Structure 1
Amino acid sequence: MRILVVSQYYWPESFRINEVVDVLRKQGCEVTVLTGQPNYPGGTVYEGYRAAAMGTQAHAGYVIHRVPIAPRGQRSALRLAANYLSFLVSGSLLGPWLLRGQRFDLIFVFGMSPILQILPGVVLKWLKRAPLVTWVQDLWPQSLEVTGFVTNRRVLDAVAVAVRWLYRRNDLLLVQSRGFIEEVQRMAGRTPVEYHPNPGELAFEAPQSGPSPLTLDPGFNVVFAGNMGTVQALETVVEAARLLQHEPGIRFVLVGSGSRSEWVQAEIGRLGLRNIQLPGRFKPEAMPGILAQASVLLVSLARSPIMSQTIPSKVQAYLAAGKPIIASLDGEGARVVTEAQAGLACPAEDAPALAAAVSALHAAGEAQLQQMGLNSRACYEAQFQPDQLAAQLITRLEKLLDDRKRPHSREPARPRGRTSDDAR
C-alpha cells in the first residue's frame, strides 16, 4: 500500500507520527511524507534547514518532502497563527508540485492542532484521486477556546464551519479517544468515525543502553514528563507540592519544557519550594531510562469538557514504562488508568486531592506499587503496542480501499424480471 502522510510536524521534531510511519514501513507499506521545516518546540528552524526552503529529503529509506513554513517563535500568538497558516498555504500550493507525477493509494493526515491542516490533504485527494483519512488528535474549535488562544465567538463559529467542511471531505476519520467519537461524528455528517488510539513509543520496545542523562536523587520521585503548557494545569501540581513540602522524601520532578516553564520556575522561587525540580527537556530516546527511575508518574490536565474527552499521549508512554500512575484529570485518561488498576486518579485541578494521591502511594507497600506497575505494562501490551495498532490501522485502510473498488456492493440487489421502471 502506497501511503502519503501529511503532517505539519515530523522528524526531527518529536511526534508520535514518526514512529507510526516507522512501524507502517516495517509492516510493508510504502510511505512518503509531506511536512514543513522543523521548528518545534523552540520556535526556530533546526540547524541544517531553512524556513523558506522547499525540497526533498531522503531519510531511513523513504522520502520526506518539505514545504516552506513561518517559524512559530516563542510566546507570540501572531507568529503562531502565521506558522499554522503558512503550512496550510504552502502545503496546498507547493505540496502538489513536490509530489507531481507520484501516485498514492491513500492520503493519511496526522490531525494535530491546528486541525485545519487537513486542507492540504483535501487538495491532494482531489489531485491524486486517492481516498483521504485523517487521524484526529484534538477537537477543534474546542481546543482554541480551552487554551484561550481564541475567545471571539464569531471566530470560533467560523472555525467550526471550516472544520465541518474539512471533515466531510474525508473518506474516514479516526479519533485518538473514544470520547471524541460523538463530537466528531456530529460535525462529520456521513463520514464514518472510528476509534484508533495513539500507540506507545518505540523507545520503550528497545533494550536500553548506556547511562541515563538524568539521575534522580533518592526518595519518592513523582515524575511528570512532557509539554509544560497551559492545559497541563501546572498550577495544581505546584500547589500540591506546596501542600507536601514538609513530607520527607517526596519530590516532584517535572521533565520537559513549554510555555509555562518560566512561570513554574518563578513560583518555586516565590514559594521557597525545595521539593520540585526542573531538569529540562531530554531526547525521546532518553525518556525510558528517566521514567524507569520514577517512583510514580504524574499526568495532569485542566478541567474542561474537551480535556475530559482526551487521552494525553504521555499516558501510553507511562503505561509502557511499567510504573504506577497518578492521573490528575477527568474522563477518558483517568478511565484508562483506573480500569487498568495502574494507579490512582483524582479530579482535575484539585490540588488537595492530588496531594492526597501522592501521599497514599508514598505510604503504599512495595508489593502494591509493583503490582500497579505490572498492570500498567499489561495494559500497554493489550491496548497500545505499536506493532499491534499498526496492523489494525493497515486492516482499516485496506478495507476502505476494498470498499471503494466495490462502489455498488452496499446497494440492495435489483429483482429479476420486469420492474415498474422497465414498464414505463
Structure 2
Amino acid sequence: MNILIITQYFYPENFKSNDLAFELKNRGHNVTVLTGIPNYPEGKIFDGYGFFKNKKQVINGVRVIRSLLLPRGKGGGLRLFTNYYSFAFFASIKAFFLGINNRFDAIIVHEPSPITQYYPALLMNKLWKIPVYFWVMDLWPESLSIAGGIKNKFILNYYSKVIKNFYKNAEKLLVTSKGFRSAINEKGDFDDKIVYFPNWAEDSISDGNKDFPIPKMPDGFKVMFAGNIGEAQDLENIMKAAVQLKANKNIKFILVGDGRKMPFVKNFIEEHKLTDTVSVMGRFPVEAMSSFFDKADIMLVTLKDDPIFNLTVPAKLQAYMSASKPVIAMLNGEGAQNVIDAECGFVVAAGDYSSLAKTILTASELSYEQLQKLGSNSRKYYEMNFKMSACISNLESIISKEN
C-alpha cells in the first residue's frame, strides 16, 4: 500500500511515529511522512536541520517531507499556539501538492497533542477522498483544560466542535486506551469507528543495550521514574512521598527525563534537603533507557487524579513491562488495572502519596527472587498485549479491510 503518515513529530524526535513508519516500510509498504522541523522537546531546531535545510530526506527507506513551523521555544501558551498552527498551515500546503502528485491509499494521523495535526489530512480527505486513520493518543479539549490549564469556555467549546468534525471525517479512530471510547462517544455516535490500538515499547528498550554509558547510580533500593516530567505526572505527590521516606537512606528515587515540572522538582529537592535520596539524571536518548532500567529495582508510573487521566494508559507503562521490571503505580483507571491484571507490582490511588511511601517501603523489603517474579509477569503481559509486531499487524488488517 501507499501510505502517508502525518505527524508534527518524527525522527530524530523520539515518538511512536518512528516505529510506525519504519515497521510499515519493512513490511513492504511505500511510506511517506509529512512532518515538521525537529525541535521537541528543547524548543530549538535540531542540529543539521533548518527552514531551508534537510526539508526532504529518505530515512530507513521512508520518504520524509518536512514542513515549516515555528519552534516551540520554552513552551509558553502563545509560543505553543504558533508552533501548532504554523505546522498545520504549512503542512496543509505541502499536503495539497502531495495529493496532486501522489495516489495514497491511506493516511495515518499520529496524534499526541496537538489535534491541529489533523488539518492537512482533512484537506486531503476532502479533495481526494483518501481515508484517514486517526491515532488518538490524547483527548481534546480535555487535555487542553487539564494539562494545558486552559479554562476559557469559548476556547474549550471551539475545540470541542473542531475535534467532533475531525472524528466525523475519520475512517477509523485508533485509541491507545479502551477508556477513550466513552469520552469520544460523548462527542457523537462514533462507536463503530473506534478501534483499540495500544502503545508499545521501542525495541531499543525491550531488547536494547544494557551497557549504554549512563551516570553512576546511587547505592540502595532504586525507585526509577522515567519519561516526561510534566503537569500530568503528579510530581508534587512523588516528592511528598520522598519526604516521608527521607529518613530511610536505603530508598533512592531516580528521575530520568525532563519537562515543565523539572524546575519545581529541583527546587523541592533543595528546599526539603532530599539530595541524599532523590537523584535527577536529566534527559537521555531512548537507546539509554535499557541501561537505566537495568539498574532500577522497581519502576514508578504516576498520573494525577482527574477523569481524563483515569482513561489513560501512560506509554511508559508498556516500556517498563517490556523491560521485565516490577511496577509501582500511583494512578487510577485502566493503567492501574493493567498492573493488577499483570500481577507485576503494586497500585495505590492517584495522589495518595502516603500510601505510595508505605508501598515503596514494602517493595524494598522484597527478596530479589520476588522482584524478579514481578518483572517476569510484566514481560509476559507485555508480550500478550503490547508487542509492536502484533499491533502493526492489526493496523495492516484494519487498513486493508477498508481499502
TM-score range with shorter-chain normalisation?
over 0.9
SS across alignment from 2:295: coil
Asked if the contact 1:55–1:98 (Cα under 8 Å) also holds between the matched residues in 2, the reply is: no
- 1:345-392 Cα offsets, whole Å, 9 max, x none, are 111111101101101101122222111000000011111111111111
Asked if the contact 1:19–1:202 (Cα under 8 Å) also holds between the matched residues in 2, the reply is: no
How far did residue 52 of structure 1 move? 6.5
Q: What is aligned with 1:59?
A: 59
Asked if the contact 1:322–1:376 (Cα under 8 Å) also holds between the matched residues in 2, the reply is: yes
How far did residue 201 of structure 1 move? 1.3
Gap change, CA 1:148 and 1:391, over 3 Å in 2 = closer
Asked if the contact 2:2–2:104 (Cα under 8 Å) also holds between the matched residues in 1, the reply is: yes
Equivalent AA in structure 2 for residue 374 of structure 1? S
* Distance in 1 of aligned mates of 2:132 and 2:243: 49
Q: What is aligned with 1:46?
A: 46
Of 309, 312, 316, 1:310 maps to: 312
SS across alignment from 1:14: coil
For the pair 1:185 / 2:185, whether they are aligned, the reply is yes
Asked if the contact 2:208–2:290 (Cα under 8 Å) also holds between the matched residues in 1, the reply is: no
Equivalent AA in structure 2 for residue 392 of structure 1? N
* Distance in 2 of aligned mates of 1:209 and 1:277: 20
SS across alignment from 2:252: strand
Q: What is aligned with 2:174?
A: 174
Q: What are the residue-to-residue correspondences of 1:247-262 with 2, within 5 Å?
A: 247-262=248-263
What TM-score comes out, normalization by structure 1 length?
Answer: 0.91
The RMSD of aligned alpha carbons is: 1.5
* Distance in 2 of aligned mates of 1:75 and 1:28: 38
Of 335, 349, 352, 2:351 maps to: 349
For the pair 1:285 / 2:287, whether they are aligned, the reply is yes
- 1:100-120 Cα offsets, whole Å, 9 max, x none, are 411111000001111232111
Structure 1, 358-367 or 157-166: larger mean CA deviation: 358-367
Q: What is aligned with 1:219?
A: 220
* Distance in 1 of aligned mates of 2:200 and 2:303: 20
Asked if the contact 1:142–1:306 (Cα under 8 Å) also holds between the matched residues in 2, the reply is: yes
Q: What is aligned with 1:239?
A: 240
State percent identity of aligned pairs: 36
Equivalent AA in structure 1 for residue 167 of structure 2? Y
Asked if the contact 1:70–1:86 (Cα under 8 Å) also holds between the matched residues in 2, the reply is: yes
SS across alignment from 2:187: helix
SS across alignment from 2:186: helix
SS across alignment from 1:245: coil
How far did residue 53 of structure 1 move? 6.2
* Distance in 1 of aligned mates of 2:284 and 2:95: 32
Equivalent AA in structure 2 for residue 225 of structure 1? A
Asked if the contact 2:39–2:45 (Cα under 8 Å) also holds between the matched residues in 1, the reply is: yes
* Distance in 2 of aligned mates of 1:51 and 1:378: 45
Asked if the contact 1:7–1:110 (Cα under 8 Å) also holds between the matched residues in 2, the reply is: yes
Equivalent AA in structure 2 for residue 249 of structure 1? N
Structure 2 stretches of 5 or more lacking a match? none
* Distance in 2 of aligned mates of 1:29 and 1:337: 35
Q: What is aligned with 1:200?
A: 201
Gap change, CA 1:210 and 1:222, over 3 Å in 2 = closer
* Distance in 1 of aligned mates of 2:401 and 2:106: 12
Q: What are the residue-to-residue correspondences of 1:266-345 with 2, within 5 Å?
A: 266-273=267-274, 274-345=276-347
Asked if the contact 1:54–1:68 (Cα under 8 Å) also holds between the matched residues in 2, the reply is: no
How far did residue 97 of structure 1 move? 2.3
* Distance in 1 of aligned mates of 2:99 and 2:41: 27
Structure 1, 45-54 or 318-327: larger mean CA deviation: 45-54
Gap change, CA 1:259 and 1:207, over 3 Å in 2 = closer
- 1:316-360 Cα offsets, whole Å, 9 max, x none, are 100011011001111011111111001001111111011011011
Of 376, 384, 389, 1:382 maps to: 384
The structure with the larger Rg is 1
Q: What is aligned with 2:87?
A: 87
Asked if the contact 1:55–1:67 (Cα under 8 Å) also holds between the matched residues in 2, the reply is: yes
Asked if the contact 1:45–1:51 (Cα under 8 Å) also holds between the matched residues in 2, the reply is: no
Asked if the contact 1:77–1:149 (Cα under 8 Å) also holds between the matched residues in 2, the reply is: no
Equivalent AA in structure 1 for residue 248 of structure 2? E
How far did residue 99 of structure 1 move? 5.3
Structure 1, 369-378 or 109-118: larger mean CA deviation: 109-118
* Distance in 1 of aligned mates of 2:51 and 2:144: 25
Structure 1, 115-124 or 54-63: larger mean CA deviation: 54-63
* Distance in 2 of aligned mates of 1:255 and 1:107: 34
Corresponding residue pairs, total: 401
SS across alignment from 2:280: strand
